[in-house]
Amino acid sequence: MKAMSKIELRLSDVDPPEPDPPRTIYRDILNLPSTTYLGLTIRYFNFDDVTLYFRITGTGPGYTFGTVDLGSLASGTSAYRNLDNFASRSRPASELTETVDLILRAYTDAGYTNLKWTYTRTVTVIWINSADPSYTQDYLNNFDDGTVQGWACVCEAQCLVGQPTIAVVSDYVLSPPNSLRMRSQRAAAYTWARTRLYKSFATPDRNRIYGIMDVRLGSSTPAQVGHRVLVVRRGAAEVLHFGKVSGDTNYAVDDVPEGKWMRFVIALPRNQTFEIQLAHSFATYVDTNIAYLWLDDFKIISKD
């Protein structure tokens, strides 16, 4: 009998032995380039009695996957890792549901030659086209009227007094002339701060409902940003997680990229009222560094 694998791969914040909830990645075709890239944050576990060295790759029809060496992980521990541009494929011509396999391997040596465990996680990818006329556009927040359109911000932990703030700006936009920018500054160097951008929405009574948002991260001095975490919540529930965890003291690792627009798509429940929250955690080497989060073209679409 084959031994049960003593490693595990998850795409959620749920700890074993609780069952890992099914994970679906939603993507929007609209305005994507001809070659698209898939990024995601994984969490991997070592239940073996020895330190293991982890490597991840993947496979799926039409996809090209990279191979990432994750380094060592001590016995009985877990780690988060954001995989930016982990895979690529041609942009689909129409809406599509597909599956990809994420393949986690664990080795006993730093040279990745002595393979001990393999764990495969199958993930569903659902492509939508938000411009399809079969969808109703229930909300559009593009901030082009010069107002924040009901969005607000708050400090969740360790912010400088008076931070964060939000404003309508024109420095980085996807749909000219404006976007929304949250400005955050923490109270002291080498500590974490966490800020939240949020707004309440009521969803229609339809079968398929999606929230779509374009987000960009930045800072006043990028070299002084040691780490970032970006979480998208639906009410209190975490639905997307990018980066490691708030409070990780390995400030030298910054997994979540800044300086580029990222599109997030989340499925929403029907006929409910809740907040959409973007929680931005960051650690910088000096307390004077300013962290930014831009939001543009937020929309909710639905259809039966």
| CATH code reported for the domain at 136-303 | 2.60.120.260
Q: What is the pLDDT of residues 144-165, one digit of tens each?
A: 999 999 999 999 998 989 999 9
Judge whether residue 1 has pLDDT over 50.
Answer: no
CA-closest candidate to residue 33, choices 92, 86, 96, 95: 92
- For residue 282, the Cα-to-chain-centroid distance in whole angstroms is 14
Position of tokens 């911000």? 153
d(CA 130, CA 212): 9
Q: What per-residue confidence (pLDDT) applies to 14?
A: 85
Of residues 256 and 211, which shows the higher confidence score? Answer: 211
Please say whether the beta carbons of 293 and 184 come within 8 A. yes
Q: What per-residue confidence (pLDDT) applies to 174?
A: 93
The pTM for the full model equals: 0.91
| CATH code reported for the domain at 7-128 | 2.60.40.10
Q: What is the pLDDT of residues 75-131, one digit of tens each?
A: 999 988 889 899 999 999 999 999 999 999 999 999 999 999 999 999 999 999 999
Of residues 134 and 188, which shows the higher confidence score? Answer: 134
| Per-position DSSP letters for 63-75, written without gaps between them | -EE--EEEEEE-T
Q: What per-residue confidence (pLDDT) applies to 124?
A: 96
d(CA 52, CA 212): 38
> Looking at residues 29-51, what average pLDDT do you find?
95
Judge whether residue 66 has pLDDT over 60.
Answer: yes
Judge whether residue 252 has pLDDT over 50.
Answer: no
Judge whether residue 253 has pLDDT over 60.
Answer: no
Parse the chain into domains and list their residue ranges.
Answer: 7-128, 136-303
Of residues 88 and 5, which shows the higher confidence score? Answer: 88
| Per-position DSSP letters for 204-254, written without gaps between them | -S-SEEEEEEEEEEEESSGGGEEEEEEEEEETTEEEEEEES-TT---TT--
Mean pLDDT of the chain: 91
Position of tokens 């749920």? 14
Q: What per-residue confidence (pLDDT) applies to 193?
A: 87
CA-closest candidate to residue 234, choices 204, 199, 208, 195: 199
Of residues 28 and 247, which shows the higher confidence score? Answer: 28
Domains 7-128 and 136-303 share a fold: no
| pLDDT band (50, 70, 90) for residue 271 | very high
Written as six digits, the tokens of 7 are: 């490693």
